Amino acid sequence: MTPDISSRALAAARDAASAAADIIRHYWQRGVVTELKPDATPVTVADREAEQAIRDILRTALPQASIYGEEFGLEGERGGLMWLVDPLDGTKSFVRRTPFFSTQIALMDGDELVLGVSSAPIYGETMWASAGEGAWMDGERVQVADITAMSDASISTGNIKTLTGDARWDALGALIRDSNRIRGYGDFCHYHLLARGSLDLVIESDVNILDIAALAVIVREAGGVFTDIEGAPLTLDTRSVLAGSPSIHAQALSRLRLSKNPEQP
């Protein structure tokens, strides 16, 4: 992707997130009726209108890119340039009047995530990043903390239901015991905190790539490491997260791997 396309894409993603924020604020103030999708997850008019506004802006700015969105699926073909869009990640929080929801917009170039915008309009933060250009929050560059000892680390967990039945559950407990403190910020919030140096490790076992793609770019550009819980690179099929400052991520990954495969040398 050329610098010109990258710059144009980032500007479009930020504009699209801003347009979505206006729609989300409107419905946040007046309230919405909640419907259930076939998979029993909630959806509202705010989700759908926000995604349509995002698509309109992205399509105009980068017509050669396909768009894969939470509410309206895939427009175009996989491969090449492809936008990944979750217009309102955290709909359950939105309908319960909890401000932990966001708009997530990422761009993939082939198999590589190259750009991300994370907008949390009610919480009051917007972060963005593009490959090689650093991570930013409201115009200020952000960086993960330089924490190297687990005893000094702050850990946050999000969706971890699947992990409770996994061989690594006890290893997670040991990580928590050895850490400085444990929190459960969830959603966009703990990734924003990680990227700006306010915590050191995030663990989730039940996510969708649309929830985390933009956040992965942001954390990486802030100097962090962002993989799935096995340490593998993210793909469209990724369902888990292990993200952290480099040293803490490496220690956590080693301990989680050992707990799953105790006979490893």
pLDDT digits (tens), the chain, 265 positions = 788 888 999 999 999 999 999 999 999 988 888 898 898 888 999 999 999 999 999 999 999 999 999 999 999 988 899 999 999 999 999 999 999 999 999 999 999 999 999 999 999 999 999 999 999 998 899 999 999 999 999 999 999 999 999 989 999 999 999 999 999 998 999 999 999 999 999 999 999 999 999 999 999 999 999 999 999 999 999 999 999 999 999 999 999 997 766 555 4
Where are any strands of DSSP class E within the chain?
Answer: 35-36, 42-43, 66-69, 73-75, 81-89, 102-109, 112-120, 125-130, 135-137, 140-142, 154-157, 181-183, 201-204, 225-227, 241-244
Q: What angle do CA 65, 133, 149 make, to 5 degrees?
A: 120
Q: How many domains does the chain have?
A: 2
Q: What is the DSSP string of 194-238?
A: HHTTS-SEEEESS--HHHHHHHHHHHHHTT-EEE-TTSPPP-TT-
- Please tell me whether residues 106 and 40 are part of one structural domain: yes
Q: Is 141 within the bounds of a domain?
A: no
Q: Is 225 within the bounds of a domain?
A: yes
Question: How far apart, in whole angstroms, are the C-alpha atoms of residue 232 and residue 216?
Answer: 13
- Tell me the CATH number at 58: 3.30.540.10
Q: For 100, what's the count of Cα atoms within 13 Å in the CB-facing half-sphere?
A: 15
CB–CB of 138/239 below 8 Å?
no
- Please tell me whether residues 27 and 118 are part of one structural domain: yes
The residue segments making up the domain with residue 209 are 150-260
- Please tell me whether residues 99 and 212 are part of one structural domain: no
Q: Is 218 within the bounds of a domain?
A: yes
- Please tell me whether residues 30 and 55 are part of one structural domain: yes
CB–CB of 8/61 below 8 Å?
yes
Structural tokens at position 99? 């401000």
- Tell me the CATH number at 217: 3.40.190.80
- Tokens 């995604």 sit at which residue? 51
Judged by DSSP in three states, 118 sits in strand
pTM for this prediction: 0.95
- Please tell me whether residues 25 and 80 are part of one structural domain: yes
Q: Is 139 within the bounds of a domain?
A: no
Q: Is 142 within the bounds of a domain?
A: no
The backbone torsions φ and ψ at residue 246, rounded to the nearest 5 degrees and listed phi first, read -55, -50
